Amino acid sequence: MSKESLLELHDLHTHFFTDNGEIPAVNGVSFTLDNGEIVGIVGESGCGKSVTSLSVMQLVPNPPGKIVSGYIKFKGENIVNASPKRMKQIRGNEIGMIFQEPMTSLNPLFTIGNQLIEAIRFHRKLSKKEARQESVDLLKLVGIPRAEAIIDEYPHQLSGGMRQRVMIAMSVSCDPDILIADEPTTALDVTIQAQILDIMRDLNKERDTAILLITHDLGVVAELCDRVIVMYAGEVVEEGSVREILKDPQHPYTKGLIRSLPKLHGEDQKLYSIPGTVPKPGMGNVGCQFAPRCEYAFARCFKEKPELYNVGEKRTSRCFLYDNKEGDAAENAESTFGS
Amino acid sequence: MQQKMQNLLLEVKGLKKYFPVKGGVFGRKVGEVKAVDDISFSVKEGEILGLVGESGCGKSTTGKSILRLSEPTAGEVKFEDQEITSLSGEEMRKLRRHMQIIFQDPYASLNPRHTVEKIVGEPLLVHGMNSTEDRKERVRELLEVVGLSSYHASRYPHQFSGGQRQRIGIARALANNPKLIICDEPVSALDVSVQAQILNLMSDLRDQFNLTYVFIAHDLSVVKHISDRVGVMYLGRMAELAGKNELYNHPKHPYTQALLSAVPEPDPDYQRDRIILKGDVPSPSEPPSGCAFHTRCPYVMDICREVRPEFREVETDHYVACHLYQDAVHS
């Protein structure tokens, strides 16, 4: 690649070492995030999307978790084995993060202001007074009314949507290059979710912050993302632009996932459902992870592991149907899918 | 009218559930949380009525009050023309074989120390199936009905995935051939691919056993998919109630309109006029005067701040509680 990406993950393996053996939660994940881009990672629970984001922040609890191979390059610097000191500089300052549960990620014993000021003064040389003013401005930026009063309140006095706004304010306080949002709206109601998504979109436009959005909700992806990475059982199974993924999915898993969503508009049909359940981590089979649930699976899928095949520009699918040798099979699959 | 010909299975009139707020040194009552504040609706036999709303709108409390798992403060609940709020505990227990509930969390609603056989068989025992052999037989039958296998009967809940556990919960609810099942967020803890399996199962069971559901959920797409009619709740009150296509295509209440416009669609080409509501849902312990939605409503008028709008039929089978439609008297 000619241009260096803002964030590049290459063949990342994050494993957990438990009493039941080694569990590959993230099993060879590679992707890039460019300046000002919004990339979504989607998948069901246990697919490794959260562990991927924690790996970037070096926040995987160790033990039992460990990045066993691969690299994560942030602006060209490999941060997998960066010193704790260097990581402290990066976290919050250059890469911000928002978590799913805004109640548990704020300290209930300190006021909103205390927590914001702490984060700001850790990375930036500001006096207490300046930091406080900066905090008020940030709270206004994320649409908190009465920011001057809210700053002296405790987290329990705020609603879920307000807490998530405070988290966003905190994570962008040092104007990071990347904002990692791990299920930022899952715990919120739809009307509040719409507000939070709006704020994130504005941040991306106004401050040019790249966003890595981890979610299970394809609707949220359609709202916000430019590019999408679909994960299944610790692996990337498909990558493409949001339009390509949602309108013309290539991997059988993505196809099934989209077809199993109930529609808000249009006629109701019987829902398609992917048979079986997501494999338990560590119970992986030899071949394609999705093969046991896949309606197109053939003998090779159970024996060999498919690689990510190129199916277009910046568009990949981990499925033998797109291996040129199996070209005929792909055509067959297309025709059956149409019916 | 056709509606009269179809039997009403459940009729709820003026249902209220207030929770006391205690405070002070002596734990005196200092206020009330109006979780459900005067709602009325009816459910026909064989119908699926969806109840949607955001967290704290009282939809779960409504479900529990219907079964008297949470004693209603006021109002009537009629099941098969029988008023049930005045029944004694014993009479109620007997009646509950006809009204069952499926809970949200398939992890918390199954006893981890009991085998599936005991969990599913317990309602049978309670309602008088005393023979162990008969119960075993029935449990095996039920497990097959919900898509599990009879050999699962001897296992414990932790050996199952979330979707399978929800199937066990459904088997337990079906055990005594109920007429009505209250489904309280039955799929919200499940992944999308598993959610589809459970929704399909529930539709199939409805057809197979002529069940009636009150389906409570916060996901508007899920409710649309499964329901025949849908009621939208806001702050303990029913804002709008109509047939699902009517409600989703022609929402009348400003809250319903905003709610529908806020749902993210997994379609990058989908265009809509997004109505972004300001602020949060007010606290149900101090609901706003007049219309509960007036603090966030884009069309708020003076009357909304003072008078609570009546919940009335503005078009055939389309009920709305909003002053915008108070003049439109349905003839």
Q: What is the CATH number of the domain that holds B293?
A: 3.40.50.300
> Which of A241, A261, A263 has the highest number of chain B CBs within 10 A, making it the mutation to test binding with B?
A261
CA distance A65 to B35: 44
Evaluate whether residue A121 is within a structural domain: no
Evaluate whether residue A209 is within a structural domain: no
**CATH number, domain at A319?**
3.40.50.300
Q: Do A222 and B194 touch (CB under 8 A)?
A: no
Where chain A has pLDDT below 50, the residues are: 1-2, 330, 335-339
How close, in Å, is residue B243 to chain A by CA atoms? 14
DSSP of B61-122: HHHHHHTTSS--SEEEEEETTEE-TT--HHHHHHHTTSEEEE-S-TTTSS-TTS-HHHHHHH
- What ipTM was predicted for this assembly? 0.81
Where chain B has pLDDT below 50, the residues are: 1-4, 330-331
Domain final residue pick, B156, B177, B198 = B177
In this predicted structure, what is the pLDDT of residue B328? 55
Q: Bridge partners of A7?
A: A33, A74
List chain A residues with CB under 8 Å of B239. none
Question: Are B183 and B168 members of one domain?
Answer: no
Question: Are B85 and B34 members of one domain?
Answer: yes
- Closest residue, chain A, to B263 (C-alpha): A190
In this predicted structure, what is the pLDDT of residue B4? 45
Task: Compare CB distances from A268 to B225, B260, B267 and report the shortest one's residue.
Answer: B225
Task: Compare CB distances from A260 to B196, B218, B263 and report the shortest one's residue.
Answer: B196
Question: Are B158 and B183 members of one domain?
Answer: no
Question: Are B75 and B14 members of one domain?
Answer: yes
Number of domains in chain B: 2
Q: Are strands A309-312 and A227-232 parallel, antiparallel or unpaired?
A: unpaired
Q: Does B28 touch chain A (CB under 8 A)?
A: no
Which 3 state secondary structure label does DSSP give B4? helix
Evaluate whether residue A171 is within a structural domain: no
CA distance A211 to A221: 12
Q: Do A271 and B196 touch (CB under 8 A)?
A: yes
Q: Do A262 and B164 touch (CB under 8 A)?
A: no
Amino acid present at A249: P
List chain A residues with CB under 8 Å of B281. 159, 189
Question: What residue numbers bound the domain in which B257 lies?
Answer: 4-98+178-325
- Closest residue, chain B, to A159 (C-alpha): B280
Task: Compare CB distances from B263 to A45, A219, A257 and report the shortest one's residue.
Answer: A219
Q: Which of residues 95-154 of B touch A (CB under 8 A)?
A: none
In this predicted structure, what is the pLDDT of residue B331? 42
CA distance B136 to B117: 7
Give the DSSP H or E segment for A225: none
Cα angle for residues A282, B167, B241 (degrees, 5° grid): 120
Q: Contact, A31 vs A1, CB < 8 A?
A: no
Q: Does A247 touch chain B (CB under 8 A)?
A: yes
Evaluate whether residue A273 is within a structural domain: yes
Question: Are B138 and B71 members of one domain?
Answer: no
> In terms of residues, how long is chain A?
339
Q: Does B257 touch chain A (CB under 8 A)?
A: no
Q: Do A159 and B280 touch (CB under 8 A)?
A: yes
Question: Are B232 and B318 members of one domain?
Answer: yes
List chain B residues with CB under 8 Å of A261. 192, 196, 221, 266
Q: Does A228 touch chain B (CB under 8 A)?
A: no
Question: Are B188 and B261 members of one domain?
Answer: yes
Evaluate whether residue B330 is within a structural domain: no
Question: Are B29 and B131 members of one domain?
Answer: no
Evaluate whether residue B331 is within a structural domain: no
Evaluate whether residue B226 is within a structural domain: yes
Question: Are B50 and B114 members of one domain?
Answer: no
- Closest residue, chain A, to B217 (C-alpha): A189
Evaluate whether residue B35 is within a structural domain: yes
Task: Compare CB distances from B192 to A159, A242, A261 and report the shortest one's residue.
Answer: A261
In this predicted structure, what is the pLDDT of residue A269? 77
Dihedral of the alpha carbons of B258, B242, B75, B6, in degrees to the nearest 10:
-160
In this predicted structure, what is the pLDDT of residue A9? 93
Question: Are B29 and B158 members of one domain?
Answer: no
Which residues fall within 8 angstroms of residue B235, CB to CB, at 6 or more apart? B37, B56, B57, B58, B281, B282, B284, B287, B292, B293
Tokens of B258: 């905003």
Q: Contact, A242 vs A254, CB < 8 A?
A: no
In this predicted structure, what is the pLDDT of residue B1? 40
Q: Does B265 touch chain A (CB under 8 A)?
A: yes
Domain final residue pick, B154, B177, B200 = B177
Which residues fall within 8 angstroms of residue B281, CB to CB, at 6 or more apart? A159, A189, B54, B55, B56, B57, B234, B235
In this predicted structure, what is the pLDDT of residue A228? 95
DSSP of A44-78: -TTSSHHHHHHHHHT-S-TTTEEEEEEEEEETTEE
How close, in Å, is residue B308 to chain A by CA atoms? 23
Question: Are B83 and B122 members of one domain?
Answer: no
Q: Do B196 and A274 touch (CB under 8 A)?
A: yes
Task: Compare CB distances from A260 to B193, B218, B268 and report the shortest one's residue.
Answer: B193
Q: Does A197 touch chain B (CB under 8 A)?
A: yes
Q: Bridge partners of B33?
A: B19
List chain A residues with CB under 8 Å of B258. 191
Q: Do A270 and B163 touch (CB under 8 A)?
A: no
- Burial letters A312-336, b for 16+ CB under 10 A, else e: eeebbbbbbbbbeebeebbeebeee
Tokens of A284: 């992986």
Question: Are B182 and B312 members of one domain?
Answer: yes
Domain final residue pick, B177, B202, B229 = B177
Q: Does B192 touch chain A (CB under 8 A)?
A: yes
Reading across the β-sheet that carries B28-44, which strands appear in turn?
B28-44, B8-23, B74-79, B82-83
Dihedral of the alpha carbons of B36, B39, B43, B47, in degrees to the nearest 10:
-60
Evaluate whether residue A240 is within a structural domain: yes
CA distance B264 to B257: 14
Q: Which of residues 249-308 of A touch B (CB under 8 A)?
A: 256-258, 260-265, 268, 270-275, 277-278
Per residue in A44-102, pLDDT (tens digit) is 888 888 899 999 998 888 888 889 999 999 998 999 888 989 998 898 889 999 988 77
User: Using omega within 30 degrees of 0 as the cis cutoff, is the peptide bond preceding A63 cis?
Assistant: yes
Which 3 state secondary structure label does DSSP give B52? strand
Evaluate whether residue A207 is within a structural domain: no
DSSP of A150-192: HTTS-GGGS-HHHHHHHHHHHHTTT--SEEEEESTTTTS-HHH
Question: What residue numbers bound the domain in which A247 lies?
Answer: 7-94+215-335
Largest CA distance in chain A: 69
Q: CB atoms < 10 A from the CB of B56, how many? A: 21
Evaluate whether residue B123 is within a structural domain: yes
List chain B residues with CB under 8 Å of A271. 196, 199-200, 225
How close, in Å, is residue B195 to chain A by CA atoms? 8
CA distance B266 to A260: 12
Q: What is the DSSP letter of B186?
A: T
User: Using omega within 30 degrees of 0 as the cis cutoff, is the peptide bond preceding A306 cis?
Assistant: no
How close, in Å, is residue B93 to chain A by CA atoms? 35
User: Of the candidates B276, B303, B299, which has an alpha carbon nearest to the alpha carbon of residue B289?
Assistant: B303
Residue pairs between chains A and B whose CB atoms are closer than 8 Å: 124
Evaluate whether residue A254 is within a structural domain: yes
- Burial letters A251-268, b for 16+ CB under 10 A, else e: bbbbbbbbbbbbebeeee
In this predicted structure, what is the pLDDT of residue A265? 79
Evaluate whether residue A187 is within a structural domain: no
Number of domains in chain A: 1
Reading across the β-sheet that carries B237-243, which strands appear in turn?
B99-102, B180-184, B212-217, B48-52, B229-234, B237-243, B318-320, B312-315
